[in-house]
Amino acid sequence: MLIKRRLGWEMPESQATPESVFFNRRSFLGAATGLVAGAALPQIAAAEGDPTLDLYPAKQNPAYTLDRPVTEAELAANYNNFYEFGTSKDVVGAAKRLQPRPWTISIDGMVEKPFEIGFDDLIRKVTLEERLYRFRCVEAWSMAVPWTGFTLKSLVELAKPQSGAKYVKFETFMNPRVAPGQSQRWYPWPYTEGLTMAEATNDLALMVTGIYGKPIPNQHGAPLRLITPWKYGFKSVKSISKISFVAERPKTFWEGLQASEYGFWANVNPEVAHPRWSQASEQLLGSRDRRPTLLFNGYAEQVAGLYKGLEGEKLYM
């Protein structure tokens, strides 16, 4: 499908981002560790009254460190991609319509027994931890964020997939009355993403429930989203309501829209340009620091092995 209109996140970041956002020197938090939990400003986390508040801040996992400062919470919370609520970066207001409670997640497809589970029950069956991850958007900006969550691997174990399951498919909720973007029928809603089983059970794949030491606010994908830090950010599907174990590779939202530019694998690689711009470097959100992009966003040691034998695939778009 050809995209007739120009999408917000499909232009070079120099055009898409106001200078004040990129070059806000106040945004530095200083050192990458230790300044994280609870750093969010009160207005950005919809934490009050949240029934999971007692679980935050979760213990930080020291295995995940950064080579750059943590992005200021307020910046990360006000510069989002969430097409269900609009194509601009400013979706905080529109995303207030999202009601993350009650929230049910269906687990189905090739599993021992399909089931539904309430988010507040699920979160108490798993172990939460905080991880500092780099996050690289395909638009060539990046941030560094303390996510709270649990491994996708632990969710796969709860789901008990059958041996024939080869992929995990994730779907965002579907409700155009809540999310006006979903009334725009040229998009292949609901937002869908997928991983191979090997990717899904890699330690890095995180099911995220919180950010900056608090439950995750709506605009970041409440109450449950995926984070795969070695892939471009569009793989990190928000507000997940359905997880299916399937034999066939799922067709993702962006493949449905523009397969020539956004593929299934979407692994970060500075040497493979987007058809319309380079991926060689990235602009750190909130700073003048432009850095060379790292293969697999710097996580090659943990994930490069997943792609042995798949060299014929378009692994990096």
List of residues contacting ligand MTE (CB under 6 A): 9, 80-84, 137, 172, 191, 220-221, 233-234, 236-239
Q: Which residues of 132-160 are buried (b: 16+ CB within 10 A; e: fewer)?
A: bbbbbbbbbbbbbbbbbbbbbeebbeebe
Task: Give the residue with the Cβ less far from ligand MTE, 94 or 110.
Answer: 94
- CB of residue 153 to ligand MTE, shortest distance in Å: 20
- CB of residue 23 to ligand MTE, shortest distance in Å: 19
Closest residue by beta carbon to ligand MTE: 233
- CB of residue 11 to ligand MTE, shortest distance in Å: 13
Q: How many CB atoms lie within 10 A of CB 265?
A: 19
Which residues are 211's β-sheet partners?
147, 214
Q: How many CB atoms lie within 10 A of CB 58?
A: 20
Q: Which bin fits 177, alpha (ψ -120 to 50), beta or left (φ > 0)?
A: alpha
Task: Give the residue with the Cβ less far from ligand MTE, 139 or 161.
Answer: 139
**Cα–Cα dist 147/150, whole Å:** 10
**Virtual torsion, Cα 114, 171, 44, 147, nearest 10 deg:** 70
Task: Give the residue with the Cβ less far from ligand MTE, 122 or 208.
Answer: 208
Task: Give the residue with the Cβ less far from ligand MTE, 107 or 137.
Answer: 137
Task: Give the residue with the Cβ less far from ligand MTE, 83 or 299.
Answer: 83
- CB of residue 4 to ligand MTE, shortest distance in Å: 19
- CB of residue 208 to ligand MTE, shortest distance in Å: 9
